[in-house]
Amino acid sequence: MAKLQESLNKRNLTLIVSLPANDADLARAALEAGADGLKVHYNVGHRASGNHFGQLDEYEDVFRSIRDQFDGPFGVVPSGSIEGAKREDIERLAPMGFDFYSIYGHHLPSFMLDGLGLERTFAINESSDLSLLASASHYGFTALEASVIPGAEYGTPLSFADVLKYRYLVEHAKMPVLVPSQRKLVPDDIRALSDTGVKAVMLGAIVVGKTEDTLRKAVAEIRNAIDRLT
């Protein structure tokens, strides 16, 4: 079974860390603190971290180095636009060791529906038409990334209104739902997310910061909260 799907099926709540920079030391810190999987980026500007990630060739060596560190799910955001998602780059990802891609639905060109050796996840944002969600399961996606918090609200606390949105997605998506840390997620949020039916939490720069120390501390705290669920 594919690694992301296996983790989502096996674990009550999978912990993925979306690295704030493509850095093997940050990856090691995340794994040592308890991450089940990792996600990296190229060819995209990242709103939450303020980072701009360059082209795939710039990161091939570090991506392979990160892959060598662990055997869990390893994902990549391959573009911040539909024009930037190039077939010749996407075809290199599975041989490089990636297991899944993560991209906004409106940035996803039709050729990527073939998978190209990768598990497929797609993200929706706050303006996505939720009435179309149930149709997505027809295309064989492994998971939905619920990036539904408006950018102006990044880094603010999780509310029950957010939890209700996530519950709606769980009920209607017909696939596992991943919640990225657009809110400033804290350990006390984990039980509510688990009870809501979310299958993975993806910690990014808003929660983990940009240094090894802040990342290690934040990941360990969320790991402990997840472990207390079982």
Long-range pairs for 90-98 at CB < 8 Å and ≥24 separation? Answer: 90/116, 90/118, 91/116, 92/56, 92/60, 93/117, 93/118, 94/118, 96/60, 96/63, 96/64, 96/67, 97/63, 97/64, 97/67, 97/68, 98/63, 98/67, 98/74
Mean pLDDT of the chain: 95
* Predicted pLDDT at 46: 63
* Cα 99 to the center of its chain, rounded Å: 12
pLDDT of residue 16: 98
Above pLDDT 90, what percent of the chain? 94
User: How confident is the model at residue 178, as a pLDDT?
Assistant: 98
What is the band of 7 on the pLDDT scale with cuts at 50, 70, 90? very high
Per-residue pLDDT averaged across 136-151, rounded?
Answer: 95
Per residue in 81-116, pLDDT tens?
999 999 999 999 999 999 999 999 999 999 999 979
At 152-200, the pLDDT tens digits run 999 999 999 999 999 999 999 999 999 999 999 999 999 999 999 999 9
Q: What is the pLDDT of residues 12-27, one digit of tens each?
A: 999 999 999 999 999 9
pLDDT band at 49 (very low <50, low <70, confident <90, very high): low
30 pLDDT tier (thresholds 50, 70, 90):
very high
What pLDDT band is residue 226 in, cutting at 50, 70 and 90? very high
Q: How far apart are CA 113 and CA 148, in angstroms?
A: 22
Per-residue confidence (pLDDT) for residue 45, from 0 to 100: 79
